[in-house]
Structure formats: structure tokens, C-alpha cells
Structure 1
Amino acid sequence: MHDTVPPHDADMNKLRKGPISIAFGLERIGLIAVKAPILSCVILLALVIGAIFGIQRIKIDDSLSQLFRSDSKEYKQYEEVTKRFPSTEFDVLVVLEGKTLLARDNLGKMRDLVTDLQLVDGVRGLISIFSARQTPAPGKLPAALFPNDLPEGADYDKFIETVKQNELIRGKLLSDDGTLALVVLSLDPAVVSNNKLSTVVADIRKTMNDDLANSGLTKELSGVPVMQLEIRNAVERDGLIYNIAGILAGCVIAIVFFRKISFMIIAAFPPLLAILLSLGALGWAGFSLNMFLNVMTPLIMVISFADSMQLTFAARDRLIAGEDKYSAFTNAVRVVGPACVLTHGTAGISFLALQFSDSDLIRAFGEAGLTATIIALVAVLSLVPVFGVLLVRNEKIFAAKFQTADAGVQALRAFCYWIAVRMVGRPGLFSLISLVVVVGLGIVYANLEPRYRLADQVPDKEQAVAASGRLDAKLTGANPIDVLIEFPKGADLYSPDTLATIAEVHAMVEKQAGVGNVWSLETLRRWLAEKAGSTDVATLKEYVSVIPEHLVRRFISADQTAVVVSGRVPDSDSSKILPVVDKLDNALNAVRTKHPGYEIAVTGLSAIAARNSAGMIEKLNHGLTIEFGLVAVFIGLAFRSWVVMLACILPGIFPVVLAGFVLWLLGEGLQFASVVALTVSFGLGLSATIHFLNRLRLEDTPGTDPAIAVERATVLVGPALILTTVVLACGLVVTVFSDLPSLRLFGWLSAFSMVAALVADLFILRPTAMWLINLQQRLTGSSVLAKQEK
């Protein structure tokens, strides 16, 4: 094997007289702090204290609609509906189920439960089977369907059959087979938006458990507030897990290979401090923690740890070669620093690519990622040499010890050398194989279909998803879909034209396959007409006036200029719901034509998700495709080399298309989490490519055999790349412990992409670079990878 460590004086000569800077001198940021290490630590302490206060300012955004938050007309319309008809955003769904649900004793317990739930602080009203009414006598208000004293024996059985056939609750609040009942609790909006929600939900659970003890009924909660609370709890819990796991992974692997606590601190602490400083900055900047920003911790670890390890390895090699600690760490910054700047630059482009999204959430994630990238770059470049100068002691003793006892690193170098020799032996063949593989995987990736389900954004190990599943099975669905009807100026709620419009829209929604549990003002009109024989407007007005305010606001706006016809759909993939939404919207054209002036729009979270998710995912994916070209050009311009530009394309694309192939095998399709993971992983995965190419440009001098240059560059950067990939994969894969399906997908896919990036670096980049250098030599007569300074 060739010398594993080149003469470091030669390194510096190469920097002074060889290839021109790829970072335009920005790496020298890292040399400022090391000139006054004690003062730098004092400033760092002040920044850490400020960051701690900043982290405390971070709030959690648990809105289920956050992915689709944008300036689009559809989302603005959806927001308007939730403000004017504050129902589904604030409804807790109590799902009660059991074969003995309508047994006399259990019915009594359920009535006690409904009574007690109304007394829970924060509940402003509820709807249940006990809200149903009997057929009214002429001129009188109807009595409750359930009498104070329930009948017994055969009379009770007859009564239950009457209950099951009641039009107001059958298929809406009670399943057809009488084994599932739904209680809808309307919470005060102020409760849902603050920390009182957890207390209110806990009180609801306690009341359920107390009142239904020994009933044999299953009892679960669902609804938007419960899902929000479960998301909030999962985000807080996951953040703690990611921080601890990331710290442990970095520290353990660093101490195993460096075998000195000081070097573990030098390698692992700058990334950890970068996390702290970045999160603090995001807190002060007003960012909210959500299902994407929650992965910012492992991402910062990914961005910064790779460069921290490269700098530490380079300085360690110099110390072993006999340099003093100040020279070792400052020279490491000069040699490795340019690649660090470039890796952060490519990561920054990855985050900028997210600005192509229509989602405010994803764009905010991109902005936060770009901010964190800049902070991580400054932190790593500055803190590694500062900690190195302060913590390294007795350089000569250290050098003597590790010159003869560095088995772990030497083993990795031997492995890297073994691979490099084989890759440069037949570069043309391996380059052709790589091209065929990447093109083949790319074809599979291009055929991935967008996928979105609301349940993927909610913890699937809690009650809400399970309860929603039961509603999907027994009551046509848990997810609301609304048709907003806005009246023309001057139109009255009770005018014949308005009531006819509402009736026709209600009928259209009922007929639409896939939509059930339809409610509107028309529901009350039909009931009055059928049971009371009354069709006059005066009676309708009288009934509306005596209904509790929170029930009226579900369907009629406060100013009586708009109404909503509300139905429910199952939580299916958006590709299945979109045809339902489109078909309904098209069917409503007949009503729009018949009643001009009435604005009729299909909205609701399910409709917004169905319409927008596929387009948003495809746009993100197109942004990733554009990113491939932008990053390749960016790296090529930085190195001033078309060889470098072409060399980084295949290894950069390989992790993305391989991950896409795995998604295809699993039948996953492209989700928001997977596209964001691939977008970010592409930029981060290029870290290995850039560090290798940076080392190769120093080794590839005039008169040097390109094969030897490739081998030496591989031996020098390979061990750090392997260790970094292991740490980063461990740091990302901890997300598999999340209760959020989208975060689990993001985590394992990112970790897989990191490992795939290492494979591409070792088995695709080496032969491709070698073949392109040989091609350049045949075309121009020059075998030097990068442009040299004169």
C-alpha cells in the first residue's frame, strides 16, 4: 500500500501553489476563533445561554392542515370555513363500541356519561344519540327520544328498534347494527389552541373510564383536537429521543476509534453545540416545531458531524506526523475547510430547493434548514480547532503512542485501499455498470406515484387512528368534507331559492358514492316535513331558534349569509378521495347553473388534501430533479473543472434512485416525508463526494499517476467517511422509534440514503473520476483534475 499519510508540508505547498481555492477563502472563518481560544469559549458560553432561552421560545405547530397551509385560493377558502363554522377543528369524537352497547344497563351508563361530559371544563356542547327527538305534536316542540325512565322487558326491545330506525341518528351517531355510538364534543376554541387541551382530554378520558366501568364497552377518542394533542406529545417525546440518541451515537463511535476523550470532545461536541445554537436561533426567529422541523436535530448532526470528523482526522494525522497542535488544527482547516464550506453549500442548495413547494410548512423547513446549515458551518470550522488547541496535551507523547498503536484506523485505511485499487483497475467497465444501474433505478423512480393519508401525520400507536378506523368501518368515515354555500348579496337564509339550493346540494352530497353521514339545515327540514308534517318557514325558524348555539354554528354562519353541508369520508389515500371530490364538484355544476349568484365550493381538510397533495409532491420531486443539475454545476464551478462536475452526478443521484427503488418494492409511493428526505439526503450525501474530490485535487499534481492519486485520496478520507456514515445513519435511524409514521419514514429513508451515498462514493465515484481524468488527458493532454494556480 502507498504511504497512508502524505507529507504535510507538501500539503501546504499544494495549497499555496497548486489547485485554486474551491471555497474562495471562506474556510478561513475557522482561523479567527483559534487565535484567541479562551475568549472564543467565553463568547460561546454567552451564545449557548442565549440559545437556551431561544429554545424555550419554540412552540409546537400541531395543526393537521399545516402541510397545506399556503396562499392558494382553496386553502384560504378552507380557513374561512373553519372560522365561520368552528366545528370539525374543535370536535372531540368519543367512539363507544360493543355488542351490548344498547343493553339497558349500558344505555343508562352512556346517558350518565353524556351528562357528565357536558360538565367537563372546556366543553361547550355535545351531540349524541340522546340528542334525538320524538315525532313532535302539532304546534309543540318534540320530546326527547329517550325517556327519563327506560322501559323494561319486551317494551325495551321494541323501544331499541325504534331508536335504531331514528332518521336523525341512524348511520350518523349510531351504526346500523347498533354496536357503535358516536358522541361529538364541541370544545371551546381557546382550549384547543393552548396548553389546557391536555387537561381537558385527560378529564374526558377519566370521565369515560369512571362512567363506563364494568360495561364491557371499548371507548376511544378521536377528532382533530385529540390528533393535535397526540402529535404535540409525539413531537416533544421524539425531540428528546433524537437529542439523546444523536449525542450517544456520536460520542460512542468517536471514543471507540479515537480512544481519547479529548478527541471525542473535539469531534462530537462542535456538532452538538451546532444543534443547540441552531435550535436557539430558530426559537428567537419564531419558528414553530412541527413534524418536519422535529428532524432538524438529526439533520444538523448529519450536516456538521461529517465535517467535524474530517477536520479531526486531518488534525490527528498531522499530530501523529509530528506537528504541534496549533499547526495541526489550523492546517487541517486550510486543507479540509474548503470541502466543509462546499458541503454546507450543497446542503444549503438542498434546503433552498424546498422553496419550490406550495406548502408554507415545507418552505419554512427549508428556511430553517438553511439557517441551521450556516450556523453549523461556522460552529464546526471555529470550534474544532479551538477545542483542539485547548484540549490536546503532550503532542509528542501522543504521536509516539499512535504511530504504533492505531489498529482501528489502519484497518479502515487498508479496506479503503483494497477497494480503490480494484475500482481504478478497470474504470471504464465499472463506470459503464454504474451508468446502467443508475439509469435503470431512475426509470423505476420516475414511475413512483404520489401518496398521502391524513393518518400518516398522526401517531398510529395512540387512540385517534384506531378510533377513526372504527368510524370508517361503521359510520362511513371520520374525516369531514364540506360544501360551502355562500348567498348572493341581499339573499335571505329562509328564502325559497336559498332553501332550494341547500336541499339540492344536500341531495347531491348524499348521492355521491364514498360520502356519508351528511348533515345540514336540510336534515332538519326533512325531519319536520316527515315527522311533523310541517313545511312552513315559520316552524323551521322556530326550531332553529331553540337549538343550542354551538349546534347552529355547525351549519349556519353567525351572519346568516352562508351555510355548510357537511359529510364524512374514510381516511383513504388521497388518490382514492380525489375522484370522489372531483365527481361531487362536477355534479354541483348543475346546482350552480340553476341558482346563479350562489357560490358553491367543495372544501374541508379531506378535499384540500386530495386536491393539493399529489401536485405538491410532484412539484417537490421536480425541484429535486432541478437540484441534481444545480448542485453538479455548483460543484463544477467551485472546482473550475468539468471533470468534477460530471464525476459527482452518478454518485449523487444513486442514493436517491436506490431509495426510490426500495419505496417501489415496499409499495410506498412518494409521500411528503419521503420526497423531503430524498431532497435533503441528496445534498448531505454529496458530503463524501466533495471531501474525496477535495483530497483528490491535492493529490492529483502534474506528473502523478491518476490511479495513485485516487488511491491515496481514498486512503486519506475513507476512514472518516465510513465512521461519519455510521454515526449519521445511527443518528437518523432513531426516528424509527417515533409514533409518527411520517417521521419513521423520513428517518429510515434518510439513514438508508446516507449508507447508499457511501456505497456510491466508494464504488461509483472512484472509477468514474478515474475514467473522466483519463478522458480529459486524451482530449486536452492534461491529467490534472482541477485547475492549477499560476
Structure 2
Amino acid sequence: MDRLARFLADRSRLLTVLVAASLVAPALLLPGLRIDNSVEVWLRRGHPALEQYRRFLARYGSEEYVMVALESDRPTSPESLKEQSALAAELAKVPGVDRVVDLPGTARALFGARDDWTAEARRHPLIRNLLLGPDERTVGILLWLKHPEGPGARREVVQAIRGALTRSGLAERAHLAGTPVMNVALDEASRRSSMIFLPLAVATAALLLALVFRGVAGVAVPMFAAFAAVLWVLAAMVLAGRTLNMVTVTLPSLLFILSLSSTIHLTSRLASHRQAGLDMQPALRRTVRELILPTFLSSITTAVGFLSLMYSDMGPVRDMGLFSAVGLMVAFAVAMLAGPGGLWLLSGRPRPASVGVQGWLARSGNSVAAHPRLAAAASLGLLGACAACLPLLRVESNVLKFFPDDSPIARDYAFVSERLTGLYTIEIDASAGRSDEAALRKALARLGREVEQRPEVARVDEYSRFQPLLESLALVAPILGRPAGADMLEDLAGRFRREEGPRVHLRASILVRAMSSGEFYGLIENIRARAGAALGPSNWELTGVVWLLNDVQQALVQTQVSSFAIASLVVLGMIGLLLRSARAMVGSVVPNLLPIFSAFAVMALAGIPLDSGTVMIASIAIGIAVDDTVHFLTRFRAERQAGLAPGEAIAATFDKVGPALVFTSVIAACGFAILALAEFRPIRYFGGLTALTMLAALAGDLYVLPAMVRLIAPWRKP
């Protein structure tokens, strides 16, 4: 270790230049970084449910659609029908639109040239709650889409639809809903977030570093190491073919903040040695020798916390874990390779940090350590109280709830759900032999009527709704010719029936309104039970992209409980192994679990749900929280081995590493707090709660950890 420290210190300026030169390559790759929130990004390849959904798509074609809801005072008036027909013709020209279903075209197909069709249309199952709202002041135009090719296809289709609405002069009266619309809203919000978070994180870090270190080196060196880590990780994402999404869009700012830690410790410790009278080179040697082990251990334990996210079935969460872990180790390497040289090149006259906290830290730590049993009992009591709040946590997997209530996407979805129809479908794919097709049709129709009685269900479409119309067409066509709209009816019917060898497949699409996750899963269980009773235990499958996404997010919560347990065992075990003390590992448990359980208690009491953002807090926080613990224990062990008594060792530890613990935690908390400005609620909650966890972890290391080391007494003999 001494030889490595000497090499890093003596060759520091050359290493700094080499590291800076190496950043040219990743910088050239950055233009290839893309944003993609498409459905495929969130689903794990090879998952049985995903393979089932792909079979469904191959059988029936794309289930994706865009619903255009138009406000109209008299939707069946000649003027309004003409307006709707003109818009439908314009929308049919949009590349990617497979079929347009509108009220005038459907009325021609159903009622021919009759003039008295409006009263019957209000009751017709193909029109009610789809093309004409129950208030009779809202009309719908349904756009079936071709299966999108590539991450930008949905965005291009939605933009073209909006362009057609603008050209028709109907944009202000139109409201869009559908999976592609949601994807585009997620992409746009992610893009806005990517342009805001990192600049704010950089500005906040620069300001705080300037206040603390009052010099160019104290600002430039930590920020250089953080920039290098972010640059290399984003380049790695490009090389791996990964994209940013509503989860990983926080990665650059999160990684930037966390990457400051190692160089802050270097800067603080070097300033202390220089203040003690050491020249630059021996001060650098001593600084690197003292910090290379604790910074490596803190970096790798934080990386392990992130790597536990790899246990998830959700692609963006796995990417968040993998690339954050890689970035943290890159940040450690840059800090050790370029940090000493940067400090040497930029440091002027040695000055202490502007915030003198050593005396206060030593006094507060010793006051707690003087009563270790009382402090331990209070900590365990608080931990138990926080754990008692955990059953109050709820899970939210409805993506619409991720947006603010006053956002355009939330307002449009609310309008469509309340005044026209459902927002997404739950699909049933049933099959039978050809001889049993009639019985299957009847069973599926009966199931549809039962499910349609649920208040959450807008309508159920299945083949029996089209069958009488197709039979009428077959009778009329030889005599009167094919009526207008016959192609549309046959196309729609074909989307609900397929023949494959000796078997016939029939589809039922259950169009559901906006609801909470709890209501959604209650509906799913009800549909399962009714389908099992109507169709039997086999020969049918439940699928659909929204059901699949909700199922993946629900499973995410369950897998993250396991990943948190694994991360906790590994991280705390590494402390005991690398510090060679089982007592140190035991003493680290309460100070590091208490902040995490405190965050979950706040979530439970404040009604903040577990979702794709907040569920990551536990696994990430255990790695982040242990950072200060590692630096404290490493220094405490050195002081005990130097012959100091426990109380003296605690005071000396706070004197040497205490300021850096406070600086890194406060800067990280401020950086995470920036995410509270996010448009996405999961990211907003993630940022605020992680900032709270950082401050709670600092409090645990300042007030609980000293008591635990006095009580458990690791390294008894100096």
C-alpha cells in the first residue's frame, strides 16, 4: 500500500494529464446518447409474460392506438359530422396509422343512407362509450397504429397527429390518450429533466465547494473527477446501446454528486497535513496512504448497493444499478489517479476549510459515547418505531400518477376517461377447436357482459359484437353490393378472430378507465375469476401491455426487498471483512439501517407510494449511507492502533475525518434535493427522500456510531 501511495503521489501530475487526455474519447461518443421510454425498454427479454404478449401481437397485430377526443356541442349535426370526416381523412394520411374509426364512417357502415340513425347510434355497442360519449358532447376518433419500428416511431406518429389537429383548427378542442401518447409525454419530460438536473447539480456543488474550501483546487479537482466519471459512464451507455429514460435520466446528476466524495476527502485531508507544516509531496504521500483503503472500501460498498438493483426485472432499474456502480468505481480511479496531481497543480497557500466543525464534532460525539447504552437503546427504539410504520406503505404502478395533476397529459387522460371511454386495454386471448368455436363465442360474450358491469370498465369488445354485422353484409352484398364501411367492419372483426391450424383464437379487449394500482389489481383478480368460471381453467391467457407493465412494477417491489437484504448483508459483511473485525460489522448495523427505515417511515406517514423511483431508495441508500461509516471506522481503528483510548480515539477521528464527513453528506444531500424539482413524482420523491436519508445517515454516524463502538468495542487492544 505504501509503494502504491508513493507512486500515485510522486507521478501525480503526469497521471492527471493522462486522465484529462483520456476524456476526449468518451466526449466524442456523447452525441449518440438517446432518450427512450417505449414499452420495450421496461420489459425483460425472455420473461414468460413478455413472450406471451409477443405471441398475442403476432396473432392479432398491434394493440396500440391513439384516441382523439373532441369537444362538440352537437356531435351528430351535419356540420360536426363533416368536420369529423375531414379530420379522419387527414389522420388517415399519417404514416404509422393503420386504421381510422370515426363516428361518420361507422354510422355509414351500420345504418347506410338512413337519416334517423342518431337515436339508435347512441345505444349501439360499437359507438357508445367509444365514438360518442355518454354526455353526447364528446366524440372520439380511434386510430389503430401499426407496430412501431424503433424508439422514435411513436414520437413521429404522435407529432404527426398533433400536426393534423393543428392544421384542422381543432387542436384546442382535442384531447389525446393512448400508450404512444404516454410514451411521448415520458420522453419529453425526461428530455427536459436531462437539461435541468445536471446543470443545477454542478452549480450547487460548485457553490458549496467554494464556501467550504475557499480555493480553486477545492472546487476544480472534485468537479473534474465527477465530470470524468459521468462522461465515461454515458459513453459506456452509448457503447452498450442503452438509452436514458424516466429512471436513468437522473443518473448523470446522481453520479456527479456521489463522485465528489473521494476527492473531497483528499482535499480536506491534504489541507490538514499542509496546515501541520508538511511540504506538498510528503503531504500528498501521507494523504493518499491514509485514504486509499477507506475511499476504495466506501466506493465499492456504495457500488454494491447499486449493483443490487440488477436483481430487478425492469430494464431501466437494472441499467441504473449497473452504470451507477461502474461510474462510482471510475470516480474512485479518477480521484486516486488525477486527484493528487490536480491538487498539487492548483493548490496555493494552504488554508483550512472555512467551516470549522472539528471541536463541535468531537464534543457531540464524546457526549453520546459517554452514555453508550442509553444511545443504543434510543436508537433501537427509534428503529422499531420506524419498522412499525412499514405496513402502511402502499404500491403505485399507474404511470399516469407519476405526472402532476395539472400536467397536460394528466388533464387529457382525465377528460377522455370521464367524458368518453377507457384509457387502456386488458386483453384476453382464448382458443378452442373449430367444432367448439360457437360455444367459446357465447362464453366470451357472456364474460364481456359481466365484466362490462364493473364501474372501472368503459366497454368490452369481442368478436360476437361484429358477427351479426358481418352476417348481414354477407346477405346484402350479393343483392345491393358492398355498403360503405364494409371494409372497416371486416378489418375490425379480423382483429378479434384468428385461425391457426385446427384451432380458432378469439380476443376480448377490456377498455378500462383511470384508476389506482389497488383498484387495477382488484379488477384483474375479478377478471381472472370470471374468466376461469366462464372459459375454464385453460385455453385462455390474460395479457396486454399495460397489465404487463403494472405486473413488472409490482414485481419490482418484491424483488427490491430481496435485493435490499442482499445488499445489506454484502455491504456490512465487507466492512467486517476488509476491516477484519466482526464487532465493527455489528456496530455498523444500526447506524446504517436507521436512516433507511426512517425514510420509509416518512413515506408511510406522508402517503408517498412505492413506485419505480422510490423503491430503489433502500438498496441505493445502504451503499451511500455506509460511506461515512467506513471512513469513521478506518480512522478510529488507526487511532486505536496508535495507542489512544476509546474516547481519545473518537475525538481524534472526528478531528481528522469529521469535516469531510459533514461536507460530503451535506453536498450530496443538496445535490439529491435538486431532484425534488423534477416533473416526475417518483424522481421528485426519490430525490427528497434520498437527501433526507443522507442527512439521517450523517446523524447516525455522528451520534449513534460512536456509542456503538464504545459499547461493542472493536479493536480492544491497541
TM-score, normalised by the number of residues in structure 2? 0.90
Question: 1: distance between equivalents of 2:147 and 2:4?
Answer: 50
- C-alpha contact 2:431 2:505 (8 A) present in aligned 1: yes
Deviations 1:290-314 (A, max 9, x none): 2222222133224321222111101
Distance 1:170 1:697, change over 3 A: same
1:166 corresponds to: 124
Write the letter of the residue equivalent to 1:164.
R
Question: 2: distance between equivalents of 1:238 and 1:144?
Answer: 53
Write the letter of the residue equivalent to 2:163.
K
Deviations 1:242-275 (A, max 9, x none): 2211211221111122111122112222112111
1:151 corresponds to: none
1:16 corresponds to: none
Q: Which of 208, 222, 237 is residue 267 of structure 1 equivalent to?
A: 222
Question: 1: distance between equivalents of 2:624 and 2:403?
Answer: 27
2:67 corresponds to: 93
1:277 equivalent to 2:224? Answer: no
Question: 2: distance between equivalents of 1:696 and 1:517?
Answer: 67
2:362 corresponds to: 417
1:606 corresponds to: 546
Question: 1: distance between equivalents of 2:648 and 2:78?
Answer: 87
Q: Which of 100, 107, 113 is residue 126 of structure 1 equivalent to?
A: 100
Pairing of 1:742-761 with structure 2 (within 5 A): 742-761=682-701
Write the letter of the residue equivalent to 1:207.
A
Question: 1: distance between equivalents of 2:562 and 2:46?
Answer: 20
Aligned-pair distance for 1:222?
A: 2.1
Question: 2: distance between equivalents of 1:544 and 1:485?
Answer: 28
1:10 corresponds to: none
Distance 1:189 1:759, change over 3 A: same
Aligned-pair distance for 1:33?
A: 5.4
Pairing of 1:528-677 with structure 2 (within 5 A): 546-547=487-488, 551=492, 554-557=495-498, 562-593=505-536, 599-677=539-617
1:56 corresponds to: 31
Deviations 1:216-235 (A, max 9, x none): x6322221112111212222
SS in 1 for 2:136: coil
1:239 corresponds to: 194
Distance 1:299 1:478, change over 3 A: same
Question: 1: distance between equivalents of 2:103 and 2:374?
Answer: 73
Q: Which of 31, 51, 56 is residue 76 of structure 1 equivalent to?
A: 51
Deviations 1:137-160 (A, max 9, x none): xxxxx5267x7xxxxxxxxxx765
1:143 corresponds to: 112
Distance 1:119 1:68, change over 3 A: closer
The alignment yields a C-alpha RMSD, in angstroms, of: 3.3
Distance 1:700 1:223, change over 3 A: same
Deviations 1:417-474 (A, max 9, x none): 3322322232221121111111211221255233321214567664333222223223
Aligned-pair distance for 1:520?
A: 2.4
SS in 1 for 2:220: helix
2:161 corresponds to: 204
Question: 2: distance between equivalents of 1:61 and 1:765?
Answer: 43
- C-alpha contact 1:357 1:363 (8 A) present in aligned 2: yes
Question: 1: distance between equivalents of 2:4 and 2:117?
Answer: 82
Question: 2: distance between equivalents of 1:500 and 1:318?
Answer: 85
Pairing of 1:395-414 with structure 2 (within 5 A): 398-399=349-350, 402=351, 406=352, 408-410=354-356, 412-414=357-359
Aligned-pair distance for 1:203?
A: 3.5
Deviations 1:43-81 (A, max 9, x none): 324431221233333333312464443533222212332
Q: Which of 359, 380, 399 is residue 454 of structure 1 equivalent to?
A: 399
Deviations 1:380-432 (A, max 9, x none): 22221121222224xxxx13xx3xxx47232x223323322322232221121
- C-alpha contact 1:354 1:623 (8 A) present in aligned 2: yes
Pairing of 1:197-346 with structure 2 (within 5 A): 197-212=154-169, 218-346=173-301
Distance 1:527 1:312, change over 3 A: same
1:179 equivalent to 2:137? Answer: yes
Deviations 1:673-720 (A, max 9, x none): 112122102211111111111111122236422112112212322222
SS in 2 for 1:132: helix
Aligned-pair distance for 1:742?
A: 2.0
Question: 2: distance between equivalents of 1:478 and 1:342?
Answer: 49
Deviations 1:631-689 (A, max 9, x none): 22221111111221112111111111111111111122322311212210221111111
Question: 1: distance between equivalents of 2:317 and 2:187?
Answer: 18
SS in 2 for 1:482: strand
- C-alpha contact 1:230 1:462 (8 A) present in aligned 2: no
Aligned-pair distance for 1:317?
A: 1.1
Aligned-pair distance for 1:200?
A: 4.0
Write the letter of the residue equivalent to 1:416.
L
1:716 corresponds to: 656
- C-alpha contact 1:349 1:631 (8 A) present in aligned 2: yes
- C-alpha contact 2:440 2:535 (8 A) present in aligned 1: no
- C-alpha contact 2:432 2:440 (8 A) present in aligned 1: yes
Pairing of 1:455-470 with structure 2 (within 5 A): 455-457=400-402, 462-470=407-415
Distance 1:446 1:71, change over 3 A: farther
2:463 corresponds to: 521
SS in 1 for 2:23: helix
- C-alpha contact 1:325 1:388 (8 A) present in aligned 2: no
Question: 2: distance between equivalents of 1:495 and 1:708?
Answer: 85
Question: 2: distance between equivalents of 1:306 and 1:407?
Answer: 15
Aligned-pair distance for 1:487?
A: 4.7
Give ranges in structure 2 of 5+ residues lacking alignment.
none
- C-alpha contact 2:97 2:146 (8 A) present in aligned 1: yes
- C-alpha contact 1:274 1:380 (8 A) present in aligned 2: no
Distance 1:135 1:550, change over 3 A: closer
Q: Which of 47, 51, 67 is residue 22 of structure 2 equivalent to?
A: 47
Give ranges in structure 1 of 5+ residues lacking alignment.
1-24, 137-141, 148-157, 777-781
Question: 2: distance between equivalents of 1:62 and 1:383?
Answer: 36
Pairing of 1:351-366 with structure 2 (within 5 A): 351-366=306-321
Distance 1:579 1:446, change over 3 A: closer
SS in 2 for 1:253: helix
Aligned-pair distance for 1:163?
A: 3.9
Question: 2: distance between equivalents of 1:535 and 1:419?
Answer: 92
Question: 1: distance between equivalents of 2:181 and 2:20?
Answer: 40
Deviations 1:713-766 (A, max 9, x none): 123222222222222122222222322222222222222211211121112112
Write the letter of the residue equivalent to 1:209.
T
Question: 2: distance between equivalents of 1:714 and 1:769?
Answer: 14
Q: Percent identity?
A: 22
SS in 2 for 1:189: coil
Deviations 1:100-128 (A, max 9, x none): 55566444433332222223344333122
Write the letter of the residue equivalent to 1:414.
G
Aligned-pair distance for 1:342?
A: 0.8
TM-score, normalised by the number of residues in structure 1? 0.83
1:768 corresponds to: 708
Q: How many residues are paired up?
A: 715
